[in-house]
Structure 1
Amino acid sequence: MTTSLMTRVTPYLTAIMFSLLTSSALAATTMNKTAPDFTLKSNQGKNFRLSEHRGDVLFINFWASWCGPCRQEMPILEELHSRYSSAGFKVVGISIDEDEAAANGLLKKIPVSFPVLYDTTSKVSELFDVDAMPTSVLVDRNGKMRFLHRGYKPGFEDDYRAQIRELIKE
């Protein structure tokens, strides 16, 4: 590579490497802010308002039908929802697809029992600063966002389980 080409390419390579390193290194972040309230239409026929679920531990998962890691994670979220629901834990999926039909198409292939909400205008995902797919936020019984996960790789569910158990015990 010539020196001038190397000079032009280096900033891009640096940015890509930084992005790759931080995306996996910062996959889970601890938080302590009140989750912004919202109301969205649910696939279960009712509107879902976040503030009406105080007292529960919530795993809010932003996903899209075109996202491979989202598809891979969905059965794991179903298992977590089933396993911990009797302890006051709920998974809430939020599809960011612009078209509900795309989300419903995926749900036919990968059915889940937890509510899936439609954020077709991306207003709620903007409230939560969603910048990666999937993005998950664990909310404690008092409505505080406690853990943030960006992306998904096999093995993340071990962290999910530990964090869920921690929040259930509080």
Structure 2
Amino acid sequence: MTWACAGASGLAHTQSIPPREPRQAPDFKLPYLQSPPPHSAGNCEENQGNRMPNSCSQSLRGQWLYLDFWASWCAPCRQSFPWMNQLQSQWGAQGLRIMAINLDNQREKALQFLLRHPAHFPILWDATGQTAQAYDVQAMPMSYLIDPQGHIVASHRGFTQASARQTEIDIHRALGTS
């Protein structure tokens, strides 16, 4: 599977994509890329033969979720990680969970990225790209705002400061804050 990088390069534009009609977010069960931060939501049973737990989308129902798909080679992803850390800090207490899914086929590349761009939110690993395909990921990064009932209420392709502001507006609107 191949994705284009959207945002910083200027080769592709960023875009807020309102869903045509509320669509149920596809379920997933993926391993954590690294140990999850303390008090992470979404844990389910252990992987067979692996010490790292899985995260299940169904265990996140009942809370707002900002779900981001990224890869180590994605330049705009380097800019989005500090911003997502800020979102987690700012909105976590109001019930927004930030979670990112890495799409590298080599775990080590993703771990190297995280050494340079740490995440204060759970990172999952989708080496096969099946979850990204189920979500119809079209570019890197691509993110989805998912309501407590599991419906996708907004999606964003790419990352720029302008798209970050639009995402924050969507979050304000979703959480009913001004």
Q: Mark the runs of 5 or more structure 1 residues left unpaired by the alignment.
A: 1-19
Match of 1:98 in 2: 105
The alignment status of 1:56 with 2:63, answered yes or no, reads yes
Contact persistence 1:55–1:88 (CA under 8 A): no
Q: Output aligned runs, 1:8-157, within 5 Å.
A: 24=13, 27-31=15-19, 32-42=22-32, 43=34, 44=36, 45-157=52-164
Residue range with higher mean Cα deviation, 73-82 or 158-167? 158-167
Contact persistence 2:144–2:155 (CA under 8 A): yes
Q: How many matched pairs? A: 149
Deviation at 1:166, TM superposition (A): 1.6
The alignment status of 1:161 with 2:151, answered yes or no, reads no
Find the residue that maps to 1:130 and give its secondary structure: coil
Please identify which structure carries the higher helix content: 1
Q: 1:84 and 1:155 mapped to 2: Cα distance? A: 19
One-letter amino acid of the counterpart of residue 28, structure 1: S
> What's the Cα RMSD here?
1.7
TM-score (normalised: structure 1): 0.83
Contact persistence 2:156–2:167 (CA under 8 A): no
Find the residue that maps to 2:81 and give its secondary structure: helix
Contact persistence 2:102–2:125 (CA under 8 A): yes
Cα deviation 1:74-131 (Å, max 9, x = unaligned): 1101100111000110111100000111111111111111000000000100001111
| Identical amino acids, percent of aligned pairs | 32
Contact persistence 1:57–1:164 (CA under 8 A): no
Q: 2:171 and 2:142 mapped to 1: Cα distance? A: 16
Q: Segments of 4+ in structure 1 off by > 4 A?
A: none
Deviation at 1:46, TM superposition (A): 2.2
Find the residue that maps to 1:60 and give its secondary structure: strand
One-letter amino acid of the counterpart of residue 99, structure 1: Q
Q: 2:112 and 2:161 mapped to 1: Cα distance? A: 24
